[in-house]
Amino acid sequence: MSLLEMEVERQSNPVDMIEFVAANNDWSFERSGEDEIAMTVEGKWADYHVSFSWMEEFEALHLACAFDIKVPDSRVNEVIRLLSHINGQVLMGHFDLWRQEEVIIFRQSLLLAGGAEPTNQQVEVLLSNALDACESYFQAFQFVVWSGMDAQRAVDAVLFETMGEA
């Protein structure tokens, strides 16, 4: 028997932990099914639409975080270049262009193989990482989509750090 064929009985559905963390933080959420929960989180630059899905076959808790920037056909190629620049700098997770809706999403998964249960701290870090990444690069996507800026200049503009005080 291979390791992949071993069946592990899970104590609870990992989405239950997401619901617990959301309730403890007074976040509004909607449990659309046994294996999925969605919420909207207010950020500095936008409201982020976050969904967590339990993927039983992979034993992974998947997070998708989208924001409302529709990518017109004329800017798709430059957005793809921008995704490449950004994803090379992101340590965990990645940005993607969801072509069905023409929106940008950040995706990350928490592997829970072997019956591991997520902790509230893991869930909070997973969500925090996604929101931090979205907040860090939201303006770069705006620059490319709405201002017509090229990908490299957009990344350079949002990663610009000031030194000292004025």
Please check the confidence at residue 120 and state whether its pLDDT lies above 50: yes
Q: Grade residue 12 by pLDDT with cuts at 50, 70 and 90.
A: confident
Tell me the average pLDDT across 101-118: 91
pLDDT at position 9, please? 66
Q: Grade residue 149 by pLDDT with cuts at 50, 70 and 90.
A: very high
pLDDT at position 68, please? 85
d(CA 82, CA 9): 42
Return the exposure string of 145-155: e unless at least 16 CB atoms fall within 10 Å of the residue's CB, then b.
beeebebeebb
Give the phi and the psi of residue 62 in degrees, each rounded to 5: -100, 135
2 vs 139, residue with greater confidence: 139
pLDDT tens by residue, 56-71? 999 999 999 998 889 9
Query: What is the average pLDDT score of the chain?
Result: 88
Q: Are 13 and 54 in contact (CB under 8 A)?
A: yes
Least confident range from 1-5, 69-73, 82-86: namely 1-5
Q: How far is CA 146 from CA 1, 73, 80, 108, 132, in A?
A: 54, 12, 15, 26, 22
Please check the confidence at residue 141 and state whether its pLDDT lies above 50: yes
d(CA 36, CA 15): 7
Q: How many residues does the chain have?
A: 166
d(CA 133, CA 2): 37
Q: Closest Cα partner for 79 from 126, 132, 140?
A: 140
Chain CA centroid to CA 11, Å: 26
